[in-house]
Each structure stands twice: as structure tokens, then as C-alpha cells.
Amino acid sequence: MKGGGFSYWRRKTSNAFVTILFSSSVLIVLLPLILIVGYLFFKGASSVNLNFFIHRPAPVGEHGGGMGNAIIGSVYVVGLASLLGIPIGLLGGMFVGEFPHNKFSTLVRFVADVLNGTPSIVMGVFAYTVVVLPMKSFSVLAGGFALGVMMIPTILRTTDEILQTVPTSIREASLALGVPYWRTVLSVVLRSAKSGIITGILLAGARVLGETAPLLFTSFNNAFFSYSVTQPISTLPVQIFNYAISPYRDWHRQAWAGALILVLAILIVNFAVRVFSRQRFDQTV
Amino acid sequence: MSNSNDINSGIVAQDLKAFFGNIEVLKGISVSMQKKKVTALIGPSGCGKTTFLRTLNRMHELARNASIKGKVIVDGTDIYSPGIDPVLVRRKIGMVFQKPNPFPTMTIYENVVAGLKLTGRHSRKELDEVVERTLVQAALWDEVKDSLRKSGASLSGGQQQRLCIARTLAVNPEVILMDEPASALDPISTAKIEELIFQLKDTYTIVIVTHNMQQAARVSDFTAFFYLGELIEFNNTRSMFTRPQKKQTEDYITGRFG
Ligand SMILES: Nc1ncnc2c1ncn2[C@@H]1O[C@H](COP(=O)(O)OP(=O)(O)O)[C@@H](O)[C@H]1O
Ligand SMILES: [Mg+2]
């Protein structure tokens, strides 16, 4: 039939058009990531070697040196931040997610959203005021505090949203068995929401891992390996920052290598997130 | 009509009203359901059958802004009197939902023992014993005995519903409330559930909501007809279906509306 033929070709062309549109959008999204990672490899890969991971920065003029202390420092500060951010974010998220219509929940959600949108440098100033000034010293504690406060709203809001996606029927199944409410939340609801919550935590961690501004006034920097929570410490982003603004070639190369490692670390965490959120769907024991 | 006014046995509702906000959904229900009998609740959609069922194990109050007035007396105790723990009420009065709702993150085994494990400590041997006993009771044992470690969600709809029944039996209730337990199932699974109800009624008091007249006639000893939040007629099932006393009942069971 004539009309049939016409609509067939029309469908073919619009199909092709839409396919091209979609593919190019995907490319546009992927391009920056590919360019960034590619460029970092190009500039930084040659300086990544064992020394880079185990040594501290070398003084100006000397070759070699590494960011071993900064890597340890980043793990240290983010670890401390997690000690603060995960429990508070999780408990707050559980409250808000379980009592979504409570007035207090509305307030907490609002505060979390504002906090989420607060520029990270403001967090740094805040941590400077409440931790660095009273302690009269830059410190791991101050850095962990700044990043921890930044983790709270992310974790709180993801936990909140995930808990609300757990179907009422699951809660009711548990309550109807005579399981107390708190036990239902802890053992049934949280269990169903586990992968989503872990995803939220990992993303919050990955996000603060790359933060520089709040650390400039809190954990500051340290040219040495340091393990004391009351002392300043070197972290990857701050170290990259310092090297990048220096006038020395050698340091620039180190900065590229540091940036490469940092981006790879964040990519790995995001990859772990993919694996975790996939698990949610094929859970056969 | 048989003696259905013994307040110390079975389930007695007295002038029971249920609300969502200020909307009155049940308008003063008084009825008495006998121990170890099957009572069917019938009536058109939206007449309050589910709501009534949920007032019987204090699940109603979990909904937002939901409240009740009146009394529900189970074996002589008003389950709404102050000092009664709703958690314990629900342990004694189990519930099977319209849509099968096994715990999706748990295995078949874990599903069955969930109620026990979440409310106390039990030895492995004890749990194994409960799993086998209740799955046999729920006529599911033969189908799943080799796959107890598989996810509960991997079962068919009919099997999931029987798993939910086993899960309810595992906490050892005295009463089982069923809200259209077979409405989402195929005819063969439905027949299995009906057969199951027959087996269970020697041991448990059963209240079942159904929109299927034949099902009500087949499985129940007594039938209650609800209409617009009111109990229109309550009688033994045979009389109800052969000689309905009220015009509305007759219209409904002969399929003239609903
Ligand atoms: N959570 C709720 N909030 C407000 N109204 C509800 C809610 N659940 C049910 N209702 C209303 O209560 C009435 C009775 O509902 P229900 O007990 O589910 O009827 P049935 O089970 O007989 O179909 C209906 O009018 C329904 O719209
Ligand atoms: Mg219903």
C-alpha cells in the first residue's frame, strides 16, 4: 500500500535521525571525561612510579620525591570525615525517611539541601572558625570536620530517598508478624535499601576526596609524613594545588601525576558504586 | 443462627468505627466471629472489608491519620484497651496480604523464620523444624525443599503467597486474617490456597476477605456482607447464600451489583 510505504520510510528516517541525535549527545557527555582522563595520562603517567607513592615531596632543586604523605593524608582526612558524616547522615536520613511527613523532617531536609548547595570554601571557613581557631593549629581534625560536615547532607538525602522507595508492603509484612517498628526498620527496611545507601556513602566519600578549598584552611599542608590528628597534614588536592601554582617544572609534573591518581581513585569509587547498585537487581541469594 | 455472642471466645467487634482523617470508613460494625471457624467478608469494592480486617490486628492505625472508635475483643481481651501492646496483638493475629509480599532480600528459609528471628533467639534446630512444619502446612514443602536457599522472590506468585502463609504460621498465631489472598493468582494456585484454608481451619480462627462468591461459599462457615462501611448481614454461609435476609445482600450475591 502506498500510504504504508510512505509511513515506513518516514519511520526509517526519523529513526535514523533520533539515533544520531542520541549518539551525539552521548558523545558530548563522554567527551570531557575522555579528554580529561586522556590528558592526565599524557601529562602525568610518566611521573607515576613507585617513588611517587612512597616518598614525600623533595625540596626544590632535588629530583624525585613523591606524594606518599599526601595520599596517606587524604585517606586519613576522608576516613575521619566518614566517622562524622556516615553515622550522622545515616541516622538523620533514617529519621527523615521513616517519618517523611513530620514537620521536623521537612526542616531537616531543607537544611540538608541548603548545606548541599553551600560552597565548599564556606565549609572551610566554618571549620576554621570552630576547630582551627580554638585549637590554635591547622589539623587533620579540622579537615575531617569540614569534609565530614559536607558528607552529611549527601548521605542523609540519599538514605531518605532510598528508604521511601522501600515498598509499604515490605514494612507491613514485617509489622504484621509482630516485629517491633524499630526492628522492622533496622532489619527489614534497611536491608532492602542496603545497596542504595552504600551507593550514597561511596558517592559522598568520592565527592569530598577531591575537595580542595575546605582543606586549605583546615588540614593545610605538611611537607612530611605525619600521623597526628592535631597536626596539619598533606592531602592530594592541596598538594596538587601547591605544586600547580609553583614556578617549577618538576613540581608541575608531580601535580599532573597527583591529579591523575586522584581522578583514578574517584573513578574507581564510582565504578564500585555501579557494581553495588547493580546488585540490587539480581539478588538471587 | 448459632450462638455467636460468646464474648470470651473468638473475635467480637462492638460498634467499631474506623477513620481516615475525619472520613468515617466503617460506620459502627458489631459482629462476632467464632473461634476455629472461617468467616468470609464480602461486599463491593471500597465498602471497607480491608479496613475492617486491618482493625482486627491493629494494622489500621499504621496508616496516616488513621484512627478507630469502639472495641475489638479477641478471646475476652479488648485489643484496643490501653496497656495492650499492638506488637503482641499482631504476633497473635497474623495477616496475609492481597499481593504476595515475601521479603525480597531474603531466602525462602529466611522468609519463613523472619518473624521468629526478628523477635527472639532460636536454635538452628528449632528453626529448621519450624521451616519444615510450616512449609508442609502451607503445602509448599515439596516444591521448595531443595531450594530453601533461593530468593523468596524467585518463586511464582502462587508459591509466594503460600510462602507468606508459612511465614505467618511460623510465629504461631491463633487468628489468621487474609485479604483476598488469591485475587492475584491463577485458578490452580487459587484452588491450592482454598484447600489450604480448609486444612488450617481446624487449628486457627480465619477471617478472609474475598470478592469471589463461589470462594466464600466454598471455604467459609460464616459470611459477613459489607456495604458502604456498614455490616448489612451476617449469617452462616449456607443460609446467607440460600436465603439472604436483606434485599441488598441478595442483589449482591446474585450479581446484580458490585
Ligand atoms: N489509606 C487510606 N486513606 C484514605 N482513605 C482510604 C485509605 N484506604 C482506604 N481508604 C478508603 O476507605 C474505604 C474503604 O476501603 P477498603 O477498606 O480498602 O475497601 P475494600 O477492601 O472493601 O475494597 C474506601 O472508600 C477507600 O477509598
Ligand atoms: Mg480491599
Of B95, B97, B104, the CB nearest to A192: B104
Ligand 1 lined by B49 (C-beta under 6 Å): yes
| Mean pLDDT across A36-52 | 92
Across the interface, do B118 and A183 touch by the CB < 8 Å criterion? yes
Q: What is the pLDDT of residue A281?
A: 42
pLDDT for B1 equals 40
CA neighbours closer than 13 Å in the CB half-sphere of residue A177 = 30
Across A116-120, average pLDDT: 94
Residue B53 alpha carbon, nearest atom of ligand 1: 17
Please say whether the dihedral angle defined by the alpha carbons of residues B38, B44, B47 and B50, taken in this order, is positive or negative.
positive
Per the CB < 8 A criterion, the answer to whether B209 and B189 are in contact is: no
Q: Which value, to the nearest 10 degrees, does the dihedral of the CA atoms of residues B140, B146, B151, B157 take?
A: -30
Taking the whole predicted model, whether its pTM rises above 0.90 is answered as: no
pLDDT, residue B5, reads 53
- Nearest ligand to residue B60 Cα: 1
Q: Does the distance separating the beta carbons of B95 and A176 come in below 8 Å?
A: yes
For ligand 1, what atom is nearest to the CA of residue B179?
21
Please name the residues in contact with A185: beta carbons below 8 A apart, sequence gap of 6 or more.
A94, A98
Domain boundaries, chain B: 2-253
Minimum CA–CA partner of B118 in chain A:
A179
A189 to chain B, minimum CA–CA distance in Å? 10
Q: How far apart, in whole angstroms, are the C-alpha atoms of residue A42 and residue A57?
A: 22
Across the interface, which of A170, A179, A284 has its CB nearest the CB of B118?
A: A179
**Is the CB of B104 within 6 Å of ligand 1?**
no
Nearest to A270 by CA among A207, A210, A190, A191: A207
pLDDT less than 70: residues of chain B: 1-7, 257-258
Residue A58 binned pLDDT confidence (cut-offs 50, 70, 90): confident
CA–CA separation, B229 and B247 (whole Å): 17
User: Mean pLDDT throughout A144-165?
Assistant: 96
Cα separation, A173 vs A194, whole angstroms: 18
C-alpha cell recorded at residue A277: 547498585
For the segment A202-213, the average pLDDT, to the nearest whole number, is: 94
Q: What integer is the mean pLDDT of A133-157? A: 96
Q: Percentage of chain A surpassing pLDDT 70?
A: 95
Which residue's alpha carbon is nearest to atom 26 within ligand 1? B46
Q: Whose CA is nearest to atom 25 of ligand 1?
A: B46
Of A54, A52, A81, whose CA–CA distance to A219 is shortest? A81
Confidence of residue A2 (pLDDT cuts 50, 70, 90): low
Cell 499482631 belongs to: B90
State yes or no: pLDDT of A112 exceeds 90.
Answer: yes
**Does the beta carbon of B63 lie inside 6 Å of ligand 1?**
yes
Residues in chain B: 258
Domain boundaries, chain A: 2-47, 50-284
pLDDT of res. A110: 96
Considering only CB atoms, A176 lies closest to which of B94, B119, B150, namely: B94
List C-alpha distances in Å: B247 to B1, B90, B243, B250: 19, 36, 10, 5
pLDDT level of residue A282 (50, 70, 90 thresholds): very low
Ligand 1, atom 7, lies closest to the CA of: B20
What is the crossing angle of helices B187-200 and B157-170, to 10°?
Answer: 20
- Output the average pLDDT for chain A: 91
Q: In angstroms, what CA-CA distances link A33 with A25, A30, A38, A44, A255?
A: 14, 5, 8, 16, 19
CA A37 to chain centre: 18
Strands in B77-78's sheet, in edge-to-edge order, are: B23-33, B11-20, B66-74, B77-78
From chain A, pick out residues whose CB is under 8 angstroms from the CB of B103: 170, 173-174, 188, 191-192
Ligand 1 within 6 A of CB of B159: no
Whose cell is 547493580? That residue is A278
Please tell me the number of the ligand nearest to residue B180's CA: 2
pLDDT in the model for residue A277: 73
Measured CA distances, B126 to A104, A136, B112, B170 (Å): 44, 61, 12, 11
In this prediction, residue B4 carries a pLDDT of 46
Sequence-separated (6 or more) residues with CB below 8 Å from residue B234: B4, B31, B222, B223, B224, B225
Query: Can you give the pLDDT at residue B7?
Result: 67
Each residue's pLDDT tens digit, A17-26: 999 999 999 9
Q: Residues B18, B200: contact at Cβ < 8 Å?
A: no
| pLDDT of A274 | 83
Please give the average per-residue pLDDT across A263-271, as a whole number: 92
User: Which pLDDT does position A4 carry in this prediction?
Assistant: 54
Question: Is there a contact between B7 and B73 (Cβ–Cβ < 8 Å)?
Answer: yes
Give φ, ψ of B19 to 5 degrees.
Answer: -130, 145
Question: Architecture of A50-284 per CATH?
Answer: Orthogonal Bundle (1.10)
Under the banding of pLDDT at 50, 70 and 90, the label for residue A283 is: very low
- Indicate if ipTM > 0.90: yes
Q: Which of these CATH numbers, 3.40.50.980, 1.10.1740.110, 3.40.50.300, 1.10.274.30, describes B2-253?
A: 3.40.50.300
